[in-house]
């Protein structure tokens, strides 16, 4: 007897033996047991996840001689003939080689005839998205109102190419990619029954290379058995898979930690000579960084038989969580932008050099936390707690007196001495503090008082704000001195307190005043911001315009004599 490959020999023949598609099995089982059968099913998913297998099991369930059942007997003539691919009432069509309308019409012409030996005539159309537009149109009428003895089962790897008119007439099931653990367990079961020795680490490598496809995993296992001489060993699987060996990723991370730019470039050139995809390399690097992060947080979750377990745990001890997150973000952005680079090599190496440039130096990594760093890690509640040392508030009275003649009418009311105290307490060194507790050190010049009368709304018209305008409009100025401006935003606007917006607002003020101004923000329930003032003024103007229209004699005459109505949203103040 000729050898039968593992993918065919161990193809599931019942729902109980199907691996990794429990959500589909449950839905189909309930439908069969309750006899709630649809006339058309569509199975979608990537290659090798079981679309055709599920279709054949469903065909057996519909035609088993013991009746419609979710557990076909597997021994009757219908079940055995379907397993052998010789059941006359099961018509399997490869749409990739039968794309034309004539082939589809011939197929559908035979659908009107009753089944020869089975209960239903089942049409399995694989890769249905390959049909031409004319073929789909020819299929629609039969698909919408098929004879009672006909069931359509469609399968595709690209459902986006299937017309919505077809999709709407089918029950759609999306078959998921297999989890690595499911693939490994299935391979262990098969190799055990085949009496083939194996190493668990070798199965991890095969499952990773299969990328969620059970058929690919079984094909690779067949190849590994032949390569290893009836054994599946780690070293031989690594040699067989070749480019799947990701040792270069560990070398790159070690070079980054060693601040060795020469090794990074040399490794990238070696990858280029081996024709490795740099986009795939960045994706694999991001996956590896994720594994290291998991190893840092939950070391016990790393499987004992994982080939790279020791390397992962070692790197988890050597990389700080902050650096790890930085590398991960740069890898994601590098992969996204690699198509914009002059070439893939430049995009890949630039991402690595960016990681190298932003990696904290050893002295910074080991430096004890400063008071400012501690302040940055405090919760909002602890920031205002009495244990935090505060600087005495600087009196604004001299400045108020000096600018009294230039102040706006509401200045004394809005900026009274009671509001002078800092709204966010500072710790020893000056710091830019945001509402989420982030803190960054800055140095500020001192000198003569800034030329500002306290009219924050008037100042906004003189600033080049750009993206920071929204933050500025929704901030209320509480107090200021020659070095610092203190603001408050409402709780609903605290999302505006990002570092980017604060930096841009600080840059605009520096450009206006000619020196850096420290900004402090707090979050309060209700404050009088320029945005609120503008909204109130618009509301007053709108109300005045509506009142003027309603009281206008000519408008009143139109209403009284002709039954006219006023369209409120058409009224705009002049």
| 3-class DSSP state of 150 | strand
How confident is the model over 525-537, as a mean pLDDT?
Answer: 86
Long-range contacts (CB closer than 8 Å, 24 or more residues apart) made by 528-537: 528/414, 528/476, 529/473, 529/474, 529/475, 529/476, 529/489, 529/490, 530/456, 530/457, 530/460, 530/472, 530/473, 530/474, 530/475, 531/473, 531/474, 533/457, 534/473
Show the tokens assigned to 269: 């050139």
Nearest to 434 by CA among 360, 486, 390, 510: 486
CA atoms of 556 and 560, how far apart (whole Å): 6
Q: Beta strand pairing status for 476-480 and 484-490? A: antiparallel
CA distances from 30 to 70, 174, 389 (A): 8, 17, 67
CA atoms of 290 and 74, how far apart (whole Å): 45
If residue 287 lies in a helix (H) or strand (E), which one and from where to where? helix 278-297
Contact at 8 Å (CB) between 256 and 327? yes
| pTM beyond 0.75 | no
pLDDT digits (tens, 9 = 90+) for 457-513: 888 888 887 778 888 999 999 888 888 899 999 888 888 888 888 888 888 888 888
| 3-class DSSP state of 342 | coil
Contact at 8 Å (CB) between 502 and 471? yes
pLDDT digits (tens, 9 = 90+) for 309-358: 788 888 888 888 888 999 999 999 999 998 898 899 999 999 999 998 88
Nearest to 70 by CA among 99, 39, 28, 12: 28
The pLDDT, as a whole number, for residue 99 is: 66
* Rg of the chain over all Cα atoms, to the nearest angstrom: 36
pLDDT digits (tens, 9 = 90+) for 403-437: 343 433 443 333 333 333 333 333 333 333 443 44
pLDDT digits (tens, 9 = 90+) for 260-278: 889 999 989 988 887 778 8
CA atoms of 110 and 120, how far apart (whole Å): 13
Q: What are phi and psi of 541, to 5 degrees?
A: -65, -40
Banded pLDDT at 450 (limits 50, 70, 90): low
């Amino acid at each position: 007897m000729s050898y039968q490959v593992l993918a065919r020999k161990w193809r599931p023949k019942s729902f109980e033996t199907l691996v990794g598609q429990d959500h589909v099995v449950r839905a189909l089982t309930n439908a069969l047991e309750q006899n709630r059968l649809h006339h058309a099913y569509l199975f979608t998913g990537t290659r090798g996840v079981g679309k055709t297998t599920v279709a054949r099991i469903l065909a057996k369930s519909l035609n088993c001689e013991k009746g419609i059942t979710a557990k076909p007997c597997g021994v009757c003539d219908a079940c055995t003939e379907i397993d052998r691919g010789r059941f006359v009432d099961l018509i399997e069509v490869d749409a990739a080689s039968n794309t034309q309308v004539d082939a589809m019409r011939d197929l559908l012409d035979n659908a009107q005839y009753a089944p020869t030996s089975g209960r239903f005539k089942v049409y399995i159309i694989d890769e249905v998205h390959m049909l031409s537009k004319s073929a789909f149109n020819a299929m629609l009428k039969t698909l919408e109102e098929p004879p009672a003895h006909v069931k359509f089962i469609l399968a595709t790897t690209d459902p986006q190419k299937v017309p919505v008119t077809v999709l709407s007439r089918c029950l759609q099931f999306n078959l998921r990619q297999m989890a690595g653990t499911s693939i490994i367990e299935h391979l262990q079961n098969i190799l055990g029954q085949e009496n083939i020795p194996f190493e668990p680490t070798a199965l991890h490598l095969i499952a990773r290379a299969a990328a969620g496809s059970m058929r690919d995993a079984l094909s690779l296992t067949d190849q590994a058995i032949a390569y290893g001489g009836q054994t599946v060993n780690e070293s031989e699987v690594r040699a067989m898979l070749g480019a799947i060996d990701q040792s270069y990723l560990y070398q790159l991370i070690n070079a980054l930690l060693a601040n060795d730019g020469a090794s990074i470039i040399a490794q990238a050139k070696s990858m280029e000579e081996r024709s490795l995809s740099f986009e795939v390399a960045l994706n694999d690097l991001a996956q590896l960084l994720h594994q290291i992060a998991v190893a840092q947080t939950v070391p016990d979750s790393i499987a004992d038989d994982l080939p790279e377990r020791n390397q992962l745990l070692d790197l988890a001890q050597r990389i700080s969580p902050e650096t790890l997150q930085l590398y991960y973000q740069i890898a994601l952005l590098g992969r996204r932008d690699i198509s914009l680079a002059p070439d893939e090599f430049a995009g890949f190496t630039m991402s690595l050099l960016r990681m190298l440039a932003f990696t904290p130096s050893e002295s910074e990594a080991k430096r004890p936390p400063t008071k400012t760093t501690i302040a940055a890690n405090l919760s909002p509640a602890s920031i205002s707690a009495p244990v935090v040392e505060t600087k005495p508030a600087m009196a604004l009275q001299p400045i108020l007196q000096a600018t009294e003649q230039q102040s706006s009418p509401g200045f004394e009311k809005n900026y009274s001495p009671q509001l002078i105290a800092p709204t966010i307490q500072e710790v020893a060194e000056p710091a830019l503090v945001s509402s989420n507790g982030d803190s960054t050190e800055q140095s500020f010049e001192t000198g003569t008082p800034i030329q500002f009368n306290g009219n924050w709304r008037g100042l906004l018209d003189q600033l080049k704000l750009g993206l920071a305008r929204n933050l500025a409009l929704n901030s209320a100025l509480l107090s200021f001195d020659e070095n610092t401006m203190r603001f408050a935003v409402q709780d609903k606007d605290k999302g505006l307190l990002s570092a980017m917006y604060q930096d841009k607002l600080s840059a605009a003020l520096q450009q206006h005043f000619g020196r850096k101004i420290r900004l402090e923000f707090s979050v309060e329930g209700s404050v009088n911001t320029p945005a609120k003032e503008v909204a109130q003024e618009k509301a007053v103007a709108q109300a005045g315009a509506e009142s003027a229209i309603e009281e206008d004699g000519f408008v009143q005459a139109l209403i009284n004599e002709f039954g006219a109505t006023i369209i409120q949203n058409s009224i705009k103040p002049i």
